[in-house]
Chains A and B, each alone.
Chain A
Amino acid sequence: MTLATFLVDDYTLRTVALGAVALGFVSGALGTFAVLRRQALLGDAISHAALPGVVFAYVLLGTKGSLALMVGAAVAGFLGTLLVSAIVRSTRVKEDAALGLVLSVFFGIGLVLLTWVQRRPDASQAGLDRFLFGQAATVLREDVVTIAVVGAVALVVVALAWKHLKVLSFDPEFGASLGLRMRATEILLTSLLVVAIVIGLQMVGAVLMSAMIVAPAAAARQWTNRLGAMTIVAAGLGAAAGVTGAVASSQVERLPTGPAIVLVATFLVVVSFLLAPRGLVVRAMRARRARSRLGTHVVLADLAALERAHGGPGRAHPAATVGLLEETDATAALVALERDGLVARDLEGNWALTDRGRVEARRR
């Protein structure tokens, strides 16, 4: 049975894979803004802070329907972000501490509520703790529809507010000076981020959800310098990680879905870090080329200086003499210059500038 027919035939896998694709797409796209605005860890705080909201929504509404719990999670997550910014603005506590504080205290309160609910006589609360670690296998078709619809709405909002979000990401002061309402845009963006996180909680859980925000965007950043392209690439990478992780976890026994998705996303990040246009390999190659070009510059200049000092134009010198000036072996650079027709070797193996080389040495 090929993977394609497997995807079509296996109901559970299809549901999980579709959910993972939708989730990866939305969180990748919105993660772009979080990463650019240095708020990568806001996602971590929101996803942990959502827990008390989930339990509270269950207690208040008496339902485990995913939409109700999502609303609870969203409210708590949003409150958490408000609290973070209030702490940063009104105290001397810095953002990192404020994030960690809100994250852990909200999570602790969620845990208190959860254990309190669990010790009540009726057992209907079973399954609430899937919001901690995520359980993709329990995702139903209705959940996938909810994820897709809510995510689509979030993406439409991104498209409508595109210009504002762009200015906010790169130069909020400039935006404010244009009369754009940056504070409102910031709240909008945070709300969208909350939405993206909340729809993923039951699938990958609070701990790993932050990776779904950070990883696709961090990978996409390496491929492009344009916001639009980065958003699309991030969404695509997120979706790819989602479906690959979901399929892998269905094929390999006892490979949990959430961690599988996160590891695929991390793999994409590593590949991008190495191979993308901004990546480490390209950077190393460029540095090498620049270094060798610098080397030939120096050798060409030395040869010109030797010529002026000893014997005038056309006088050839041994490679060792040229190298003496820089205390290195100049042969490699001389060969490279010969390839460009800037120097020539005479019969004894001594080097002299060609006419073009002399012009070039003066020009440089």
Chain B
Amino acid sequence: MTQGQLEIQAIAVVTAVACSLVGTFLVLRRQSLLSDAIGHSVLVGIAVAFLVTGTTTSPLLLIGAALTGVVTVALVQLVTSTRLVREDAAIGLVFPALFSIGVIIVSRYADGVHLDTDAVLLGELAFAPFDRLEAWGWDFGPASLLLMGAVLVVDAIVVAVLWKELKLSTFDPALALALGFTPVVLDYVLMSLVSVTAVGAFNAVGSILVVALMIAPPAAAYLLTDGLGRLVVFAGAIAAGSALGGYWLAVALDASIAGCIAACCGIAFGLAWLLAPGRGLVAAIRRRARQRLEFAQTMLAIHLANHEGLPEAAVENRVGHLGEHLRWDSDFAGRVVRHAERRGLVVSSADVLSLTDLGRTVAQEAVTR
């Protein structure tokens, strides 16, 4: 691995972890799509700051963009508060308008410089190591690594300091209000973090893929675990894994790194969806199959108990007869019988089944319950 490759991966991982940290709260608060809105509307902040400063490297660009993010959220809340449209439509109205203004500014005044809409939306991680921070004759490393490192630290500090408040206002906003927290202030703190993170990250992965990093890892973690603390850790780990996996996938396919990272986030969510212990699709299917077997086993015990000790028992309680009486196919009947035998509910001798004491109790309990 060259130093450039290492640096790209470091940038990707730091960006991914920072995004997933703030994204966890967005997902839990059902505000995921604000990341989409902020991701798009920062373009206008960057464009305006570019008009003012005339460069694409000034820190003012970041501040301008971060402010736009907050303005976006404020506008969405303003439109929603008129009660003329609902929140989803408000989001859908605000960010395309801001994005349009940004596109127009860029195409009218910033044509030709390195500030095009593609770069903002799609990002280009491969070039990130070339933009280095050098001062006093020292090379401090890639600018975006330092930037995202700082963003991550700020995110982590704010989240740690406001942990209790964020937790309460996320899970029970009414109680938070009743206890005297100000959810509005917390909301804006969170949205400022989201804006700063989105702006820092758009350099590296582009604004649409910021959405992937903010939503997919927390959503996947949400399927795997409970508890806010574990959720944050899981989401960060999944995001970092997706970033590394995405990088190497991009190298293998010779395709967009940001796109591959987003795809890996999707794969991570897909795996969690399929395999999550207890909640995944596979677990659900197995649970359903087991419940079916348990139910059938109880049915078998009741059936055997009904005919026990009666003359027809020799006919009714044969394995081969179950299909006819309980409408099971022979394969399923065999499985039920084996299951019941393993559980010690029935014993079979020469194809005739009889209940054990335990089996009799089960049947008794099932019919008298």
Contacts and interface: CB of A to CB of B under 8 A. Distances in A.
A104 B91 contact: no
Interface string A89-107: 0111110111111011111
A251 B256 CA distance: 37
Interface stretch (A150-158, A185-193, A203-211, A316-324): A203-211
Given A101-B216, A211-B92, A94 B30 contact: yes
A38 B86 contact: yes
A254 to B, nearest CB: 5
B82 A116 contact: no
B122 to A, nearest CB: 6
A96 B211 contact: no
Interface in B234-264: 250, 253-256, 258-263
Contacts of A107: 208-209, 212, 259, 262
Interface stretch (B48-56, B99-107, B321-329, B343-351): B99-107
Given A92-B223, A259-B101, A110 B259 contact: yes
Contacts of B262: 104-105, 107-109, 111
A215 B88 CA distance: 12
B273 interface: yes
A87 B99 CA distance: 29
A298 interface: no
* Among B91, B101, B219, residue most surrounded by chain A Cβ atoms (within 10 Å): B219
6 closest Cβ pairs, A-B complex: A108-B262, A105-B266, A111-B259, A211-B96, A259-B100, A104-B212
Contacts of A266: 93, 96-97, 100
> Which applies to chain B's interface (DSSP): helix, strand, loop or mixed?
helix
B155 interface: no
A104 B92 contact: no
B215 A97 contact: yes
Q: How large is the interface on A (under 10, 10 to 19, 20 to 34, 35 or more residues)?
A: 35 or more
A280 interface: yes
Given A111-B259, A112-B253, A104 B209 contact: yes
B333 interface: no
B251 to A, nearest CB: 12
> Which applies to chain A's interface (DSSP): helix, strand, loop or mixed?
helix
Interface of B: 27, 30-33, 35-36, 40, 79, 82, 84-86, 88-89, 91-93, 96-97, 99-101, 103-104, 107-108, 111, 117-118, 121-122, 208-209, 211-212, 214-216, 218-219, 222-223, 250, 253-256, 258-263, 265-266, 269, 273, 279, 281, 284
20 contacts: A40-B86, A93-B222, A94-B30, A96-B30, A96-B33, A104-B209, A104-B265, A105-B212, A107-B259, A108-B212, A108-B258, A111-B262, A114-B259, A116-B253, A133-B117, A211-B96, A215-B93, A218-B89, A254-B107, A262-B99
Interface of A: 35, 38-41, 43-44, 48, 87, 90-94, 96-101, 103-116, 119, 129, 132-133, 207-208, 210-211, 213-215, 217-218, 221-222, 254-256, 258-260, 262-263, 266, 269, 273, 278-280
Given A41-B88, A273-B82, A279-B84, A207 B260 contact: no
Contacts of A41: 33, 36, 88, 91-92
* Among A91, A113, A211, A279, residue most surrounded by chain B Cβ atoms (within 10 Å): A91
Contacts of A280: 82, 84
B89 A92 contact: no
A204 to B, nearest CB: 9
Contacts of B91: 40-41
A221 B85 contact: yes
Contacts of A90: 273, 281, 284
B262 to A, nearest CB: 2
Given A132-B121, A208-B100, A103 B256 contact: no
A105 B269 CA distance: 10
B259 A211 contact: no
Nearest to B265: A105
